[in-house]
Amino acid sequence: MVTWPTITIRASTNPSNLVGGVRAAVAGLDRAIPVYSTDTLDDVVSKAAAEPRFQTLLFTGFAGIALLLAAVGLYGLLSYMVGQRAAEIGLRMALGCAARGRAADDLVRGVMLVVAGIAIGLLVSAC
């Protein structure tokens, strides 16, 4: 296993301004020792967090697309269900059923579908 020596310096000024002085101090000890990869702590932390940040962004994007597809699918299913009941809805309205009661009935059916989908999704994800 190869280990690379690392020097960490705390500075009250801009750390990039100290690189030349550090190189000169190391060269004063031994000219054969190369000094490379001079990074600030912010750069090191940013590089270390880049991959998890990208994965989080990717998964968030996929979750957003899944949510959009689920919403479009639910809208399509409810639209189809209401279309299938067009004759029943027309008959109820002709007999005096309030539009508010009919809309509430359709809303209850939609909420039942959402709750059933969430329950099934939670059960499947738990396995």
pLDDT tens-digit readout, 59-112 = 999 999 999 998 899 889 888 888 888 888 888 888 887 777 777 887 888 888
Cα–Cα nearest to 79, from 94, 89, 64: 89
Mean pLDDT of the chain: 86
pLDDT at 1: 63
Task: Count structural domains, the chain.
Answer: 1
Domain assignment of residue 75, given as a range:
64-126
In a domain, 24, yes or no: no
Give dist(CA 107, CA 29) in Å, integer: 79
In a domain, 29, yes or no: no
pLDDT reading at 56 higher than 70 = yes
pLDDT at 95: 84
In a domain, 103, yes or no: yes
58: phi then psi, degrees, rounded to nearest 5? -65, -45
On whether the CB atoms of residues 92 and 102 are closer than 8 A, the answer is yes
Read off the pLDDT of each residue in 43-62 and give the average, rounded to a whole number. Answer: 93
In a domain, 75, yes or no: yes
In a domain, 105, yes or no: yes
pTM: 0.60
Give dist(CA 82, CA 89) in Å, integer: 8
Give dist(CA 116, CA 77) in Å, integer: 14
Percent of all residues in the chain with a pLDDT value above 70, rounded to a whole number: 98
Length of the chain in residues, anyone?
127
Read off the pLDDT of each residue in 25-42 and give the average, rounded to a whole number. Answer: 84
The secondary structure of residue 96, as a DSSP letter, is: T
pLDDT reading at 114 higher than 80 = yes
pLDDT at 63: 95
In a domain, 81, yes or no: yes
In a domain, 58, yes or no: no
Confidence class for position 18, pLDDT limits 50, 70, 90 = confident
CB environment 108-122: b (16+ within 10 A), e (fewer): eebeeeeeeeeeeee
